Chain A
Amino acid sequence: MAAAGPSVFLLMVNGQVESAQFPEYDDLYCKYCFVYGQDWAPTAGLEEGISQITSKSQDVRQALVWNFPIDVTFKSTNPYGWPQIVLSVYGPDVFGNDVVRGYGAVHLPFSPGRHKRTIPMFVPESTSKLQKFTSWFMGRRPEYTDPKVVAQGEGREGENAEAERLKAAQLMLPFSSQ
């Protein structure tokens, strides 16, 4: 390692957001971003991405397949704050408004190799029935101020979230350390 900076280890992630199961919805797209601790810094690759819109497959699985690639490299000095990938899925509602269909987060795998993760997705619920109706009607569902909050614990106590279905992100993680 060069004398200038502190010694770091690298975390390379190749992978893809493969598919999702959202039985009720169609024409969804997904965004991903990473949440990581203070000691982490991205060195290469894209930290955020937004996928194409995909339609449900016509077979019984009804999978929404994106196969949206992820390729990012982090460097860090400390395993604390291991990066988490945060996925949020959006799609049109009945009126054509773009609304969020799910949030989910998972830590990047800790060991090298090929990993497949299934992430449960959820959306925050309206605090009251009336709000639920109006939000449905106006197409402005409750959303997180920032999708990254799903990777944090702070301030999530009072939250009322409706769990949704799941989605698989396949991550391949060649891991190198120096």
Chain B
Amino acid sequence: MNPKEEKVKIITEEFDENDEDAGVGSQKKTSKMARQKRKKPLPAAGPEEMVSENPHLGNQPEPLQEDSDTRPLSMTTRRGPRSLPPIPSASRTGFAEFSMRERMREKLQAARSKAESTLLQEIPTPRPRRLQSPGEKELETEFGAEPGEEAQKTQQEDDSQSRSRVKFRDSVRKIKTKPPVPPGFPSAEEAYNFFTFNFDPEPEESEEKPKAKNRDGTTQEEEEGEEEEPPVQGIHKTDEQLLISATEAEAFLWGLDHAAADFVAVRPADYESAHVRLQMEKELLFVPSRLTVPTYKKLPENVQPRYLEDEGLYIGTRPDVPRTCQNIMENRLLTQEPGRRWFGDDGRIVALPNPIKPFPSRPPVLTQEQDFRAELETLYKKAVKYVHRSQHMIGSGDSPGNFQLDIDISGLIFTHHPCFSREHVLAAKLAQLYDQYLARHQRNKAKFLTDKLQALRNAVQTGLNPEKTHKSLDTTQKTINEYKSEIRQTRKLRDAEQEKDRMLLKTIIKVWKEMKSLREFQRFTNTPLKLVLRKEKVDQKADEEAYEAEIQAEISELLEEHMEEHEQKMEAYRAAYQQWKAWKKAQRAKKKKKKQAVEEHPEEEMGEPYPEEDPVKPVPPEPTDRALMEHQVRERAARSRRRPGEPLLVPELSLAGSVTPNEQCPRVEVLRREDVKRRSIYLKVIFNDKEVSRTDSRPLGADFRVHFGQIFNLQIFNWPESLTLQVYETVGHSGTTLLAEVFLPIPETTIVTGRAPIEEVEFSSNQHVTLDHEGVGSGMPFSFEADGSNQLILMTSGKVSNSVAWAIGENGIPLIPPLSQQNIGFRSALKRADAISSIGTSGLTDLKKLAKWAAESKLDPNDPNNAPLMQLISVATSGESYVPDFFRLEQLQQEFNFVSDEELNRSKRFRLLCLRSQEVPEFRNYKQIPAYDREIMEKVFQDYEKWLRDRNVIETKDHIDPHRAMVAKYLQQVRESVINRFLIAKHHFLLSDLIVEEEVPNISILGLSLFKLAEQKRPLRPRRKGRKKVTAQNLSDGDIKVLVNIIRAYDIPVRKPTASKFQQPSRSSRTFSEKHAASPTTHSPTHSADYPLGQVLVRPFVEVSFQRTICHTTTAEGPNPSWNEELELPFRAPNGDYSTSSLQSVKDDVFINIFDEVLYDVLEDDRERGSGIHTRIERHWLGCVKIPFSTIYFQAKIDGTFKIDIPPVLLGYSKERSMIIERGFDSVRSLSEGSYITLFITMEPQLVPGESVREKFDSQEDEKLLQATEKFQAECALKFPHRQCLTTVTDISGKTVFITRYLKPLNPPQELLEGCPNNPQATAELVARYVSLIPFLPDAVSFAGICDLWSTSDQFLDLLAGDEEEHAVLLCNYFLSLGKKAWLVMGSAIPEGPTAYVLTREQSHYLIWNPCSGHFYGQFDTFCPLKSVGCLIGPDNIWFNIQRHDSPLRINFDVTKPKLWKSFFSRSLLYPGLSSVQPEELIYQRTDKAAAAELQDRIEKILKEKIMDWRPRHLTRWNRYCTSALRHFLPLLERSRGEDVEDDHRGELLKQLGDYRFSGFPLHMPYSELKPLIEAVYSTGVHNIDVPNVEFALAVYIHPYPKNVLSVWIYVASLIRNR
């Protein structure tokens, strides 16, 4: 059941009730029925109830339609039965439910009513009938609502709870409201009775129903209102009106409805008739008219509008406002504000010029809503070559500027050419004239002047009206006079212009006529030119009038002028006349006098001859004759002006004519045309008298135009001096002739590409050409006339259209050379006045003249175009201000400085920030710079300032030796300069530094990887995997560890039993030759003697110390121990800076020390032996291996067997050789004596070593040689990519030098040669030792992260520091000077990695020398640290190893075999004889022995202090006796170079220190600084002995070698007194 159905039911109900017509009884009956019906379904839902009532309605659906008229009535009556409440006895408990239902119903009804209204709309027939009644009904109900309005209001708001209360109140109110109802309405009482009869009218129901109805009604009314507005309008005025006009019937209905009206207010929508509203609005509102306001209204009475524009004043463009808006505004202003101050003189609203710029000056802002893809779009930008700042590069000159001049040559037009026919000549003339005409026409000066004249006349007119102008009279007069003179001027100008115009037109017509006649005469046409004269009709009458008026005006003006003139003349005449009269009088008087005095003064006659020339009697000026003047004016007008009524002639030149084809031309003409065809033209661009480019050769067209359309971009370095185009003509194949030169002006600096206009530059040539055809030739007389009169001589001439401009760089900066580059002289003087050139008139520097000119030319100062000029003038003329001859970029900088510069410099924080950003080492990693100045400690800067101060002061405190100090300082300075030089390079990242990307795959890799995909998976097969390398930028402390894997050692010295010491025969010193043959068998007895004691030979363990962190292995036994242990040492970078450069400069060494662990039984009492063991562990240092961290860093891993650096004297130990070795490998070992240790060292994680600077250095080498080196290296790398091949190196000043230049025989110190004059081998060893004594300092350390710099030998000796290359070069040079055959070996060795060794050739074999240690090895020595050989370098050639193997053991060193060694210089490239970079001779100073001795003492003292420092908990006693003994012994060691003095020494020591247990050893080092010495002593661990009664001995000996090379010996020993 839908709402509609229910509605129908309700209506039928109403119908039934209606029939009975307020029959209360019957109503009651029905109501009862309904009530009974309702009782039951009450608890049930509403729809159910409806269903139950359904049959009742089913039979009568029709009445709804028919009785719609009565329906409103029934609406109220029906309320009775519908709204019957539950029986009063019905308990309140049901009320909540009830109200729920009510609400439901309410909703239903609302919906229903809506449906009904739609339904009604759908049914058209009953509608007209109902039209009136609902409306009236509405009125009625509305009226009724009046009294009960409040109640209704409250009720509407009330919730269900309060409804019951309201019920009662309402019933009471109904009684109360009765009296206000007009009396005499019995129906009201009836109605009241009716309701009171019902006893309890349900208010909710009744209230809702009408409401629903009301809604119904209003909707209906709205509909009707739309349709029938006027009738309703009449009736519905206000509620009061309604009340009065209500009819009886209505009153009856109203009476009936009264009760309902109590609760309901129904009102129609407020409506005011449009008419009324309009009337009301008329009073209130004002609508300005849209019509144009006539001008007279806007201006004061009797004032003509004045147009400033016409008077030649500048008026900006007014803002664009629609005409209607303006009109409205004007009307409004006129009505509202009668004053006319809003209007200007021209009768328009006063307006400022349009402030809107035509183009936005701000870039368009991208809106947020825009598609983000647009922002993300990648743009292709061409790669730009990055130019390094040049100041850090050595020797590179100024970077040349990149300036560009764009020359656009668009074409060439000949105004005369030898091949011109006569017609062409005329055509050219015509074209020229026409161009002139067009130009004039465009400027239209005559018109402009006429207008100006008009305006001036007007101005004079207005100025003459005294009542209008309120200016003071004299100024007016003055201006009028000015105006008048201007009028005169203008008129003259105008006349001249007009005459010119007319003349031009006449000439054009004349030339055209000539041409036409020529064409007719020659019977062919050559040019397509065609002149059309267009006549423009003019209104003859108006024209005549204007003409006449003009003439009259002119005449009157002239008359006026003449009058004035006449007046002036008359004035002058009068004056003259007076004068004359006076003179006359005087003359007369004189004459009289003369006559009287003629006798007395006869000579006087002679004295005054001048009176003879007495002034003639002035003639009074003639008054002007008007007629004459008119005649003059008319004549002039006739000459210069178009006659009135004469049509306006407009010439139009077109190329529409047709050229006669060749066949129809006479032969001469055809010849001419062919000649033209053969010719072609090209242009050369000459810049600063040099040809820079040329255009294509283009054929000359029949119209003598050549189109090039080429743009030349001249990349220039210098300011252009001249720019010339040369026009060349080619005739056939016969060659070219220079026609003419065109000089192009060099553009102003303000002219840049895109802004440059195309200009035509004319040229002409003085060439004489005669042709045998129709062509008129050039420089030759010819004539148009048949008789040859009126000859013309024309020269070849033409125009080049071009534009020259400065190019604009990518960033918008014009590529103009700076002013400094321009010639000092007039040009630069011109350029400086930039303010003026900005307005297009460059070259004006005299500001006074400029000002004068501006005043004279009456520039409109209001025109914004003139603003810069005006400003300039005002500045120039104001006097006190001046034009600055400088340009300041930020004029307002001063204003924005928030502190002064001094204050800023004083700020500590700012300074700190600056220093940090400059990467000053002290502050590079300064973290958290305090926010306030006061928080920065002064001491932060102290170190830095001290350093700055001391930079040039040599400090000797740290460096005991003054020379070293100097060297250190020098080195420091070199380092600084080098570091500064490469500052940029450090910040230069490669793509690979940032992006990890797979390498470009080649076929093999690709194939391999594809193959791998197909490969079977073998999970159990282990595979070696490369470690991941870590870039050193994001590491912190503790991330890096150094792993040292100690595998085993060979030939550790063994203890000598103390017992057998005394029996040990003291041996005599052995010779050099004996040394190798030293028989180990001598030891065997002692060896066998030891074993019985049950003690092991030696219990070695290895201790690794790095950065003062110490790790050690377990203790192994025997002279050939095997540990196989991995030790892990943490690594700390200096200052926590893990950048590559910082890591490279780590100078720390890894010390691998081998100790012997000795157990001493310290049990005092033998009785306790049974119960406890008391032993003391002592450790004795046996030797060490020192590996610099930088080597580990660069090599990534170090793997191999190293010789242990064992002191020459190791007290209490001797070399023990096992029998097995002796038997098996004696032959191998025989050559190398010493102990060895096998190590594997690496870092975890693996660090990427910094690459050397990837920059090409400039070089002084020959370019060809450099190319050859590159080629050679490329070839070598192709064959053996891992073999080192070195051809060029960088010298200390950063230049590339060919490597062989470093090798040259150089003399070793004389002292060394004298050492053993007879033994060359010994000398060689001595020399090697000398070289090895020069301290080793890797380049990577000193020049962090930069590159390998090679210093020459003298530099090396001066610096006293260098790495392998320097040592090797020096040693090689010494060997060469000793007459040996020596080469530099570039290869790799352990532990150094890529390094340089020296190879010498002895009689039968080769020796490999390690220049840093001074040791030498035979070629087949297995323990030779050199593991591979890349190339050999001699003084005159380089040989690259192309043998299969590169191990020195397996290669042949015979460089003469080209199959084994690829030489750089060969037959194809001969050795050019390169000069050496080495000095001629090395000069050695003798070292100051006294200084050395002093140094020796100081070192000893410092070391002693250090040892005491290291033993803070123990007392350190020094055994002076022992020390002196040791000191005595050290020089012996030096003399024998540490070889085999042991036994003598021991014997001697034992003799002296018999009752001490002694352990100690001498250390030998080259001297560089103190720190390494201290480190070395520390690493031996001598100080670690904590036996209570231990004593120490320390002795230092320095042996000075020439050139301050010092050999340092330190003897450290600990002594324990034997008991």
Q: State the Cβ distance, B1033 to closest chain A Cβ, in Å.
A: 7
A155 near B: Cβ within 8 Å?
yes
B244 near A: Cβ within 8 Å?
no
> Contacts A149-B994, A159-B995: A78 and B1009 contacting too (C-beta < 8 A)?
no
Residues of B with C-beta under 8 A to A7: 930-932, 935
A24 near B: Cβ within 8 Å?
no
Are A159 and B991 in contact (CB-based, < 8 A)?
yes
Which of B189-197, B264-272, B703-711, B920-928 lines the interface with chain A? B920-928
Closest B residue to A146 using CB positions: B1034
Q: State the Cβ distance, A18 to closest chain B Cβ, in Å.
A: 16
Tell me the complex Cα distance, A138–B996, Å.
14
Which of B942-950, B997-1005, B1187-1195 lines the interface with chain A? B997-1005
Q: State the Cβ distance, B1247 to closest chain A Cβ, in Å.
A: 13
Tell me the complex Cα distance, A120–B375, Å.
9
Are A131 and B997 in contact (CB-based, < 8 A)?
yes
Residues of B with C-beta under 8 A to A39: 927-929
Which residue in A76, A148, A157, A158 is a CB contact (below 8 Å) of B928? A76
A97 near B: Cβ within 8 Å?
no
Which residue in A76, A135, A144 is a CB contact (below 8 Å) of B998? A135
Per-residue CB proximity of A111-147 to B under 8 Å, as 1/0? 0000000101010101110110011001010111110
Q: State the Cβ distance, B1035 to closest chain A Cβ, in Å.
A: 11
A163 near B: Cβ within 8 Å?
yes
Per-residue CB proximity of A27-40 to B under 8 Å, as 1/0? 00000000000111
Which of B228-236, B982-990, B1096-1104 lines the interface with chain A? B982-990
Are A142 and B386 in contact (CB-based, < 8 A)?
no
Per-residue CB proximity of B368-381 to A under 8 Å, as 1/0? 00001001111000
Are A131 and B1000 in contact (CB-based, < 8 A)?
yes
Which residue in B377, B989, B991 is a CB contact (below 8 Å) of A154? B989
Are B989 and A155 in contact (CB-based, < 8 A)?
yes
Residues of A with C-beta under 8 A to B377: 163
Which residue in A77, A128, A161 is a CB contact (below 8 Å) of B378? A161
Q: State the Cβ distance, B1038 to closest chain A Cβ, in Å.
A: 17
Tell me the complex Cα distance, A120–B372, Å.
9
Tell me the complex Cα distance, A80–B926, Å.
14
Which interface residue of A140, A158, A165 has the most chain B CB atoms within 10 A? A158
> Contacts A120-B375, A155-B993, A159-B995: A38 and B931 contacting too (C-beta < 8 A)?
no
> Contacts A118-B372, A158-B991: A142 and B997 contacting too (C-beta < 8 A)?
yes
Are B927 and A143 in contact (CB-based, < 8 A)?
no
Tell me the complex Cα distance, A166–B1000, Å.
30
Are A156 and B372 in contact (CB-based, < 8 A)?
no
Are A154 and B987 in contact (CB-based, < 8 A)?
yes
Which residue in B925, B928, B993, B1000 is a CB contact (below 8 Å) of A77? B928
Tell me the complex Cα distance, A142–B998, Å.
7
Closest A residue to B376 using CB positions: A163
A41 near B: Cβ within 8 Å?
yes
A96 near B: Cβ within 8 Å?
no
Query: What secondary structure prevails in chain B residues at the interface with A?
Result: loop
Closest A residue to B383 using CB positions: A158
Contacts of B910-926 to chain A: CB distance below 8 A: 913, 916, 925-926
Contacts of A38-78 to chain B: CB distance below 8 A: 38-41, 76-78
Q: State the Cβ distance, B497 to closest chain A Cβ, in Å.
A: 63
Are B995 and A144 in contact (CB-based, < 8 A)?
yes
Which residue in A6, A140, A148 is a CB contact (below 8 Å) of B930? A6
Contacts of B991-1048 to chain A: CB distance below 8 A: 991, 993-998, 1000-1001, 1006, 1009, 1031, 1033-1034
Are B376 and A78 in contact (CB-based, < 8 A)?
no
Q: State the Cβ distance, B1188 to closest chain A Cβ, in Å.
A: 28
Closest B residue to A8 using CB positions: B931
Tell me the complex Cα distance, A61–B838, Å.
57
Residues of A with C-beta under 8 A to B930: 6-7, 77
Q: State the Cβ distance, A5 to closest chain B Cβ, in Å.
A: 8
A25 near B: Cβ within 8 Å?
no
Are B928 and A38 in contact (CB-based, < 8 A)?
yes
Are A134 and B1001 in contact (CB-based, < 8 A)?
yes
> Contacts A38-B916, A120-B372, A138-B1009: A127 and B991 contacting too (C-beta < 8 A)?
yes
Q: State the Cβ distance, A102 to closest chain B Cβ, in Å.
A: 11
Q: State the Cβ distance, B986 to closest chain A Cβ, in Å.
A: 10
> Contacts A6-B931, A148-B1034, A154-B989: A126 and B372 contacting too (C-beta < 8 A)?
no
Tell me the complex Cα distance, A59–B386, Å.
49
> Contacts A120-B372, A127-B997, A155-B989: A145 and B1031 contacting too (C-beta < 8 A)?
yes
Tell me the complex Cα distance, A145–B1552, Å.
67
Tell me the complex Cα distance, A135–B1031, Å.
22
Q: State the Cβ distance, A114 to closest chain B Cβ, in Å.
A: 17
Q: State the Cβ distance, B545 to closest chain A Cβ, in Å.
A: 76
Q: State the Cβ distance, A119 to closest chain B Cβ, in Å.
A: 11
Tell me the complex Cα distance, A164–B377, Å.
9
Residues of B with C-beta under 8 A to A144: 994-996
Q: State the Cβ distance, A82 to closest chain B Cβ, in Å.
A: 14
Are B372 and A166 in contact (CB-based, < 8 A)?
yes
Are A155 and B988 in contact (CB-based, < 8 A)?
yes
Tell me the complex Cα distance, A176–B935, Å.
21
Residues of B with C-beta under 8 A to A126: 997
Residues of B with C-beta under 8 A to A122: 376
Per-residue CB proximity of A148-178 to B under 8 Å, as 1/0? 1100001111110111111000000000000
Which residue in B994, B1000, B1033 is a CB contact (below 8 Å) of A130? B1000
Q: State the Cβ distance, B934 to closest chain A Cβ, in Å.
A: 10
Residues of B with C-beta under 8 A to A78: 913, 928-929, 931
Tell me the complex Cα distance, A145–B802, Å.
54
Q: State the Cβ distance, B941 to closest chain A Cβ, in Å.
A: 16
Residues of B with C-beta under 8 A to A127: 991, 997, 1000
Tell me the complex Cα distance, A34–B497, Å.
79
Tell me the complex Cα distance, A159–B994, Å.
9
Interface residue ranges, A against B (CB under 8 Å): 6-9, 38-41, 76-78, 80, 118, 120, 122, 124, 126-128, 130-131, 134-135, 138, 140, 142-146, 148-149, 154-159, 161-166
Interface residue ranges, B against A (CB under 8 Å): 372, 375-378, 383, 386, 913, 916, 925-932, 935, 987-991, 993-998, 1000-1001, 1006, 1009, 1031, 1033-1034
Q: Show 8 residue pairs from A and B whose CB-CB distance is below 8 angstroms, ordered by the A residue.
A: A7-B932, A8-B931, A130-B1001, A134-B1006, A138-B998, A155-B987, A157-B386, A159-B994
Q: Shortest 3 CB-CB distances between A and B: which pairs?
A: A155-B989, A6-B930, A142-B997
Extra contacts, 6 of them, besides A76-B928, A127-B997 (Cβ < 8 A), are A7-B932, A7-B935, A135-B997, A138-B1009, A142-B998, A164-B376
